[in-house]
Structure formats: structure tokens, C-alpha cells
Structure 1
């Protein structure tokens, strides 16, 4: 969970950096998501040059509202994707100069090929990262020293977040809202945007796969059933039996459909449910653990720490304080 301080006297300033060749769809995602939290965020768009004109990868150009000076007081900077043909390991000087204006400690988020910009600027050195799965090999050739995980929708490494292609820009922006203001606020934003507040699995489910045989069973109904019974142990054999498959076939189909294993998926869902209960209830940690299917409070603490880097008590304290201050 990112540790971002929200100043009471002004909204959190999100600056979207539009580079030449920018994809218009992703360029608009931050404004669409963050402005759905009234009063919490100010979203502005800037170019790296003073004339503020940016060529998109479509058949039009845009004139954004700000030049690179907008980066000087950004709290969060978002770099949307731009045309792969314009990406080089050595950034144009104007881009380097613009990125140099970002204050230390500012949260930086990339969408899709935006990760190439962060990598070329050295901002991903020593950090885990992701980008669109189809560009993973290209990324590794350009930046072989970086640790890339092409299987996930986004990577949160504290003050630097990277995400996969297109719709994962919505995922990472909702994740930022969730980290800043809690799942209830993020869920509300997701409903307004008519998107799921939390997508299952990772990018592997979107990689081109052979089409299953007509009439082949899937695991969707079992996933719904599992979410209704998270308080139970839910062994692989029981999940497979519910789906009418052998454990081996079920595990393979589950991986194909969600991009992750049944065990890892269950942990993700249990952590997600636990976060909601920690935010919205006063249940003791051990009771929260039991409600979501972790055997003990210690198990919940370990999984929450691994997922977002904080203890249940600290997570609850953070969002109770925000709620008391009117932040969510």
C-alpha cells in the first residue's frame, strides 16, 4: 500500500505526462477515475514542451493544459503509453528534463509502454515491474538488468507502480484510489465507471491460447461458489469436484482462464475480502481471519504483509483515520 500523505488544504495533485505518440484512451483514464472521488484529487495533463501540443498515435493531435512545469508540484505522476515505434533506450532530452522535475518521493505510475520510459530514465532500477505481455521480450532485450513480471496486471512497489496494457490502466488507478481511500470508495468509483473493482488473475489469461473444444467445461461457476464459501478451507479436490473435473484438469483450466493457480487465486480473494472487513468493521483480527478462510490471525498477518506491506492493525488504523478525517 502506497504511503501517500494527503494535505488537508488542497487535493492530491495527479499530473498525467503526455508524450508524443500517446494513446488517447489511456491518456484519459486517470481523469476519468480520480475525478470520481470528489475533492480528493486534482488531475492535470502536461506536455514536455512549452507549446503543450502532443501528437497522439491516432489521426489527431491534442493541446494539453500545462507544460512541464506542472510536474514541479505533482504528488502523483502518471505516464500513459505511447507508440512503440517511438520508444528508444535513450530518452529525448526534453523528456529527461521533464522527468528531472519530479520531486523525490513522488508516486510514479506507468501504463503499458509507459514502463519503457521509466526504465530508460533509471526509475525502475532495482524494482519489480510489468508491461503489456506482448512487449515483454522487447522490454527484456532493451533492459535486461530489470526484473519484469509479464503475468500480472500491475506491480505496486510503493512509490513506483507499473501496469500492463489498456484496461489495466483502470486497474492500477482504482488500486491507487483503494490504497489512498479504501475499498468502499474504490468500489464506488468502479460502479460509476461500469468496470469491476478488482479483476481476477493476471495477464496470462489474455495471451493468445488455443480455443477450447466446443462444450468444454469452465471454472467460472466454481469461482463464484468459492467466493461464497471463502470461510472454508476449499482444497483443490473439492473445487475440482464442484466443477466436475479431475484436480489436474481443473488446475490447468483454472490457470488458462484466470492466469493464476487456484491456490494463489484463493489467497488473493481472501486478502481482498479481509481488507474490506478491516476497513468496514470492528471485528477482531482473528475473527476477520476466520471469516475469510485463513486458519489464524497470524496467517492473515503474513498474507497481508506479503500483499501490501502492512499489518492488519496498521491497515485498519490508516483507513479509520481517513474516514474520521472525511477521506473516505
Structure 2
């Protein structure tokens, strides 16, 4: 039977604990500051408290260049015949994750006057890492979706001599942005890169620092590294492939404002404690679970391809589980592969 008495010998209140878990931003501060993730009330209302799949309608933009969309000559002779506005839809799915710990995993670390708060912040940081991992998995899946071929550039070698042309240079990301979005390349706001790539750009003296104010964050004002006006996130996880000895393949990702729509998924009893009187003479346990929609705007997930009620990381990484519904220039994601 779940209980709300103590954990690690300290009083446990699920509602108070939830506040401590929520205190850190659910993704790295730099990602939040860049604006590539946007809380979306429409998704929140569609996903509700019990569903895990939703469909959001959208209207196709009136593109003058599309056949039949050009303006007609107002000459008193030409009929102004109405054309039908077109609609599409994109389907999203909530991702659910869970983790449990034993009291002894925490008790030796607890100091100060706020031990449950200390645990809450550790759990909050754990889920911050979890959702960033999910975000990277989604981007890996989107990378291979049909219709986004121009959003990827591979300069990396797997044999022969690695040249300067196989590494990131002064204009490489600028050229990638133009290749992906053309005249809309200024939509890119964030660059995620490996520390090796960041070091090279630093040596080339291409890194600047800008001050950003982030409402609601623990630290309201932060100095963040930037490249060509884009915020940089340095993360060695998921940004290098070392499967070919001597030829590390680094992945750099550019993303734009509003690339991802998000909302929390309401769950019953997301944090609770229980007690096992049998194991080791008695063990206190903390159970946690979180749910969140992280949806690449302009694509649809294909629910029939997802085996269970929540997609696994492997399913999110599979491009066959995604479908492009926007014009590709309205999906500000681009991928670069280099040897450094």
C-alpha cells in the first residue's frame, strides 16, 4: 500500500516534493532560452488527462508561387472565382517515462535542513536529462524523414586522410542553413554540438557570449555561448559516432524557434513512496513517473507503428514512424556531420 509518511527517514509529502522536482527547467537552460520549444495549449487540451494521442488541424499557407494561388487581374472582365482553402493535420503522442529508487541510494548524500528538497532536485535533474535524451531521439528520427533530404550535409570521412574540408569551418553552418531553408535560414536559433566541434570553433574565434533573461528559471539571467547569433548547447551525448576507429563522426544540429511543441501529460500519483519490510529487513522506495508531449512541429508521428502506449527511444529514432506534413522550409531543423 503506498504511503506518504517518510523516505530515507525524512517526512515525505508528494505535493511538496513535486514542487522541488519541477524547480529545474525540464531541459537545459540554453535550449529553453533559444525558444525552439514552445508550450502549446492546443496540444494540452487535446491530450487531456487520459489520452496519449492527439491530432491537431492546420491550414495550408496561401503560397503565391503555388499554381492557382496567383492574384487575378482586376480588369472588369476576369471572374474572381474562389478557390478552396486546404487543410492538413499533424498527429502527436505523449511520451511516458518512469524510475524508482531506494532510500539507501540517497541517504548517504543528504545534508542540510532540506533533505527531501535535495532528493527532489536530484530527481528533477534526472528527468531534465531524460527529456533531453528524448528530444535528441526525436531529432534523430526526423533527420531521415522523406522530404527533408536538403536539411542534411555530410562532410565526414570514414577512410583516407581527414582534411580541413572534413571539419567544421567558418561558413559551414551558414551554408547548411541556406541549403535547408533558403531565404528562411534566419529562423535557426540553436546549435547543439560536441565539445570537440565547440573547441574548434573557439580556436577559430567564432564563439561569442550573450546575456539572456529566462523567466521562471532558477537563474534568471545567464551568459550563453553563441555562433553567428545562434545559442550553443555543448553536449557530448548523442553527438559523436566512434564506430569507425580513427574517424570520429560528429553530429551538429541546428534548430529554429518553435521547432517543438510541448505540454506536460497529467499522471495519477507521479511521486509516491512505499515500504518493503522483507528485503534486507526493510527498504524504503521512491517511485516516480513523468509524461510529456515533445512534438516536432510540421510532422506527424504514425501511432499505428508504435507498439505500446508510449514510444520507446528506438521508435522515436526510426524515420519510418514520422511523416512530413508541412512544406520542408517550415521545419527549421538541419544536421551536419564532420570529423571535427
Scaled by the length of structure 1, the TM-score of the pair is 0.21
Instruction: Report 1 or 2 for greater relative contact order, CA contacts < 8 Å, sequence distance ≥ 6.
Output: 2
More helix by share: 1
Scaled by the length of structure 2, the TM-score of the pair is 0.21
